[in-house]
Amino acid sequence: MLSFLHILLTGLFGVLWDGVAAFGGVRLVDGENKCSGRVEVLRHDQWGTVCDHGWDLREADVVCLELGCGLAESALNGAVFGAGRGEIWLRHVQCSGHESSLTRCAVVLHSNPYCTHENDAGVKCSGTLLMPTLTLLSPHTVFCPGEAVRFSCSVLLGHHLSDFHLYKHGVSTPLVTQRADQTQTRVELTLSDIETFHQGSYSCRYRIKGGFPSQLLSSPPSNSINITVVEVLTPHHWYNTSTEAPAGSVLKGHSFNITCSTPHQYPGGSFQLRLIRSNGTVRQSLPALTPSVTFTFPNAQSSNEGYYYCLYRVQLGGRTFVSRESQPLPIAIRDPDPVLSPMVISWLVSGLTFVVAVIVIIIVAKVLCNKEKKPSELERETRTCVDNTYVALSINKL
């Protein structure tokens, strides 16, 4: 039974086991370039043609890949590139598309034997692998960290495809790889959970199985698509006011200002200051022309009391990006202390009384100390000079 099947299969399909060693190579002649023309094979040092019976893209692909001419754009019948000369070495070739050479494909031995050079087979190859097309499936080109970016990579000729790769310019290894079946012409490539370092330009490539076992040929890069990853950080904020105000407070009628700041700037960004108070919310906005902006309040009133929050917002690529709000900044508005309070007046009066009393005492003491006792007229008349010293004589009144 087995011998019968072997004889039957050999009669219908035969592999050129005895002829492989005799074949020397494959070439294309009389075409527009080296990658198009009439297919000829070398056997016994003589070039001969290939009959176009059963000739299709599978056989044409094997020829193109074998010659390093990319993929077959068309398999041509009827001696399109002119009739050859000499022998017709191969008739009714049947390739699977993965052979390393046309001479390793099977042939139908008992097929229509009638074949002339008017049936010479030809091919037109792409020359090189066709450039794929990269398309952005996501509806925008600007993203937040943590989002996913969806691309599509496609190629016009999809046979022999092995896999697709997504590359970021400047990075040699692919960021995403997607396997494809041999007939698939388009795959989706998703870049998940992106970060700021993913910002940049992207392209895709595909690989096909080459003319030799385990050989993979890489296509040229596709067109480029740029994506932007917006990192909006939570801004910082602080306030300034008069030095006599207690911490966390502003004196009523005094000026104060609140400054919002962020290290990351984008064109067209703005800072928003939000005040939450008991009777509602008040918002103010200033363009972020510099990394820090200051909101000024020249005359503090009770309506300025509450919790202040800063946030940064920017519109890019048709999307609005808003930062998280800063930590709350509580500000209380206090009435200033009166200029002369009762206590202050009491202190002033006490102090003034003490000062006046001290001055009076000093004056009285000075007067008393400096006052000299003047002698009477009788005492002046009775003074006698003794040894240059006047001595007062006592005179008793009669």
CB atoms within 10 A of CB 275: 20
Instruction: Write out the DSSP string of 73-134.
Output: EEEE-S-TT----S-EEE-SEE--S--SSGGGSEEETTS-----GGGB-EEEE-SSPPPPEE
164 and 152 Cβ atoms separated by less than 8 Å: no
**Domains parsed from the chain with CATH numbers:** 2-125 (3.10.250.10), 133-229 (2.60.40.10), 236-334 (2.60.40.10)
From residue 136, alpha-carbon distances to 35, 84, 142, 196 in Å are 33, 48, 12, 18
Query: What pLDDT, on a 0 to 100 scale, did the predictor assign at position 210?
Result: 66
Query: What pLDDT, on a 0 to 100 scale, did the predictor assign at position 374?
Result: 52
97 and 106 Cβ atoms separated by less than 8 Å: no
Q: Which two tokens stand for residue 7?
A: 């004889």
Q: How far apart (Å, rounded) are the C-alpha atoms in residues 243 and 249?
A: 10
User: 283-322 in b/e burial notation, b at 16+ Cβ within 10 A?
Assistant: eeeeebeeebbebebeebeeebbbebbbbbbbebeeeebe
Angle (CA) 174 176 182, round 5°: 100
DSSP 3-state assignment of 359? helix
Q: How far is CA 392 from the centre of its chain?
A: 117
Which sign does the torsion angle of CA 104, 108, 114, 118 carry? negative
DSSP 3-state assignment of 21? coil
Q: How far apart (Å, rounded) are the C-alpha atoms in residues 105 and 211?
A: 12
% helix / strand / coil in the chain, to the nearest 5?
A: 20, 40, 45
**pLDDT tens digits, the chain, 398 residues: what are they?**
333 333 333 334 343 334 444 667 899 999 999 999 999 999 988 999 999 998 998 899 889 888 888 888 899 999 999 999 989 999 889 988 778 889 888 887 655 678 999 999 999 998 888 899 999 999 999 999 999 999 999 998 666 788 999 999 999 999 999 998 767 789 999 999 999 999 999 999 998 876 655 667 888 999 999 999 999 999 999 999 999 899 999 999 999 999 999 988 888 999 999 999 988 999 999 999 999 999 999 999 999 999 999 999 999 999 999 999 999 999 999 988 765 455 656 777 787 888 888 888 888 777 776 665 555 554 444 444 444 444 444 444 44
Pairing verdict, β 122-125 and 36-43? antiparallel
